[in-house]
Amino acid sequence: MFDALSDRLTSVLSDLRGKGRLSETDIDTTCREIRIALLEADVALPVVRGFVKQVKERARGAEVSEALNPAQQVVKIVNEELVGILGGETRRLRFAKQPPTVIMLAGLQGSGKTTLAGKLAFWLKSQGHTPMLAACDLQRPNAVNQLQIVGERAGVEVFAPEPGNGVGDPVDVARRAVADARSRQYDVLVVDTAGRLGVDEELMRQAADIRDAVTPDETLFVLDAMVGQDAVTTAEAFRDGVGFSGVVLTKLDGDARGGAALSVREVTGEPILFASNGEKLDEFDVFHPDRMASRILGMGDVLTLIEQAEQAFEEGQAEAAAAKMGTGELTLEDFLEQMMAVRKMGPIANVLGMLPGANQMKDQLAGLDEKHLDRVQAIIRGMTPAERADPKIINGSRRLRIANGSGVGVTDVNQLVERFFEARKMMKNMAGQFGLPGMGGGRK
C-alpha cells in the first residue's frame, strides 16, 4: 500500500535536490506535483487542499537553516504535515479504571472486524492483559462460528449466544458478556458487532443500541483501506450514526492506492490506533503517524537524523565545513569537529542505521567499532595545530611523536593521514554533485 504515492512524493522531492535556493516557481511546481500525487492516491480533496496550502506557506516562510539545504527543508515540512494529517502523536488504547475495559468494533461487513477481534485479543494478551471476545454479530450466518475459530487461534475465550435459540438479541448478548467478563475477571472485552454491505439505518441503530448497553471505553471504527473514496463517506456515516473514539485500518498489505485511509483522521477528527496488514494473527500493529509518514516518504528514519543534525551542529559550523569540503581546504581540525558533532548524535552505528537502505547494510553496521573512532580522535588530538591545519607537514619524526603521544602505532597515523587525503579529494568531487548544506547547490 502507498507504494505509488511514496514513489511519486519521493521523486517530486528529489527533483529539488541540488538547488541552492528555492524560487517561488520551484515551490509552486513542487506543491502542484504533491497535490497531484495525493489526489491520484485517493486522498480526499479537502485534505489535499489543506495539506498543500500548509506546505506552500511553510516552504515560503522557511528560514535559512544552518544544517539543512532548501530541499531537505521541504522534505521536513512535507513530513511534518503528513504526520499531522495522520494524527500527530501515537494514540494509545485507553483502559478503564475499573475492568473490564470494553472495546466495541464497528464497521461494514467484510471490513475485517472479526479478524481484527482475534488480532486485538492476541496483541492484548502479549501486553499482559486477559481479554475475552463477545460474539454480537448475529446477523451474518456463521459469524459466531468464525469468531470462535479466531478466538481459539488467539487462545482467548469467546462469549457467544447459546446455539439453537433463533437469531437472538445482540444487545442482550453484549450486556451478558460484560457481566460475564466482570465476574470472571477478564480485564478487556472486545465486542464484535454486525456489519452490512452498505451503510443503513438498521445497522446504525443496532450498533448504537449495543453501545448504549455496554458503554464502551473505546469504539473502534474498522476501515478497509482497500476501498477508495467511499471510505470517507462511510467513516462520516459511522461517526454521525454511532460515534467512535478511534479508527483501525485493515488490509494495508493490499495494493490499492489507500489515500482514503490517509484522509480518515483529518475528515473525522478521530485518531488511527492500529493498522492491520495481513490475515495472520500477528500481522497487526499500533499505528504510529510518524513512522507511517516516513515510510510513505521512503526515507527510513532520515528525518530523525535531520533533526539530530540540526541540534548537533552549532550555528555556522556545518556551513563553514561544507564550504571547505567543496574547495578541498578541509583540515584535520575541521574533520575532528565534524566527527565529534556526528558522535554527539549517538553511537555511529545507530546514526548510520537511520539512513534509508540501512537494512541492507546491517552486517557492516554491526562491525562498526566505536573504539576505532576513539583512536582516530586520539591521533588527531595528538597533533599540533599546525599539523592539523596542514597534514602535509607530517613527516617521519612527527609521525613517531604523534603515535607515541596517542598510544597507537606509526602505521595507524600513516593510515589516518592517507585516508584523510583521499577523503578530502573525494569530498571535493562529491560536494558539487550532492548540494551539501551551505554549498549553494554546487554544480547543477
Chain residues that interact with ligand GDP, rule: CB under 6 A: 107, 109-115, 195, 250-251, 253, 276-279
* 324 in a known ligand binding site: no
Name which of 160, 144, 156, 92 is nearest 119 in CA terms: 156
- By beta-carbon proximity to ligand GDP, the closer residue of 278 and 356 is 278
Query: Tell me, what amino acid is at 186?
Result: Y
* 115 in a known ligand binding site: no
- Shortest separation between residue 294's beta carbon and ligand GDP, angstroms: 21
User: How far apart (Å, rounded) are the C-alpha atoms in residues 190 and 158?
Assistant: 9
User: How far apart (Å, rounded) are the C-alpha atoms in residues 276 and 112?
Assistant: 9
CA–CA distances in Å: residue 133 to residues 26, 97, 121, 146, 231: 54, 20, 8, 12, 26
**Angle at CA of residue 432, ends 427 and 438, nearest 5°:** 90
- By beta-carbon proximity to ligand GDP, the closer residue of 253 and 310 is 253
* 397 in a known ligand binding site: no
* 82 in a known ligand binding site: no
- Shortest separation between residue 159's beta carbon and ligand GDP, angstroms: 16
Q: What is the DSSP string of 153-204?
A: HHT-EEE-PPTTS-S--HHHHHHHHHHHHHHTT-SEEEEEE---SS--HHHH
User: How far apart (Å, rounded) are the C-alpha atoms in residues 299 and 7?
Assistant: 11
User: How far apart (Å, rounded) are the C-alpha atoms in residues 418 and 46?
Assistant: 58
110: left (phi over 0), alpha (psi -120 to 50) or beta: left
The C-alpha cell at 436 is 551539501
- Shortest separation between residue 406's beta carbon and ligand GDP, angstroms: 57
* 252 in a known ligand binding site: yes
User: In sequence order, what are the residues at sequence separation of 6 or more whose Cβ sits closer than 8 angstroms to the Cβ of residue 107?
Assistant: 113, 195, 221, 222, 223, 224, 234, 238
- By beta-carbon proximity to ligand GDP, the closer residue of 73 and 115 is 115
- By beta-carbon proximity to ligand GDP, the closer residue of 167 and 197 is 197
Identify the burial level of 223 via C-beta atoms within 10 angstroms of its C-beta, where 0-12 means exposed, 13-18 middle and 19 or more buried.
buried
- Shortest separation between residue 180's beta carbon and ligand GDP, angstroms: 22
- Is omega for the bond preceding 356 within 30 degrees of 0, making it cis? no
- Shortest separation between residue 235's beta carbon and ligand GDP, angstroms: 15
User: How far apart (Å, rounded) are the C-alpha atoms in residues 38 and 12?
Assistant: 12
User: In sequence order, what are the residues at sequence separation of 6 or more whose Cβ sits closer than 8 angstroms to the Cβ of residue 156?
Assistant: 118, 121, 122, 125, 131, 132, 133
* 97 in a known ligand binding site: no
- By beta-carbon proximity to ligand GDP, the closer residue of 136 and 345 is 136
- By beta-carbon proximity to ligand GDP, the closer residue of 108 and 305 is 108
- By beta-carbon proximity to ligand GDP, the closer residue of 274 and 335 is 274
User: How far apart (Å, rounded) are the C-alpha atoms in residues 226 and 56?
Assistant: 30
- By beta-carbon proximity to ligand GDP, the closer residue of 48 and 133 is 133
* 110 in a known ligand binding site: yes
- Shortest separation between residue 111's beta carbon and ligand GDP, angstroms: 4
* 195 in a known ligand binding site: yes
- Shortest separation between residue 113's beta carbon and ligand GDP, angstroms: 3
* 250 in a known ligand binding site: yes
Gyration radius from the chain CA atoms: 29
* 253 in a known ligand binding site: yes
* 114 in a known ligand binding site: yes
- Shortest separation between residue 276's beta carbon and ligand GDP, angstroms: 4
- Shortest separation between residue 234's beta carbon and ligand GDP, angstroms: 12
- By beta-carbon proximity to ligand GDP, the closer residue of 141 and 357 is 141
Binding-site positions for GTP read: 107-114, 192-196, 250-253
Binding-site positions read: 107-114, 192-196, 250-253
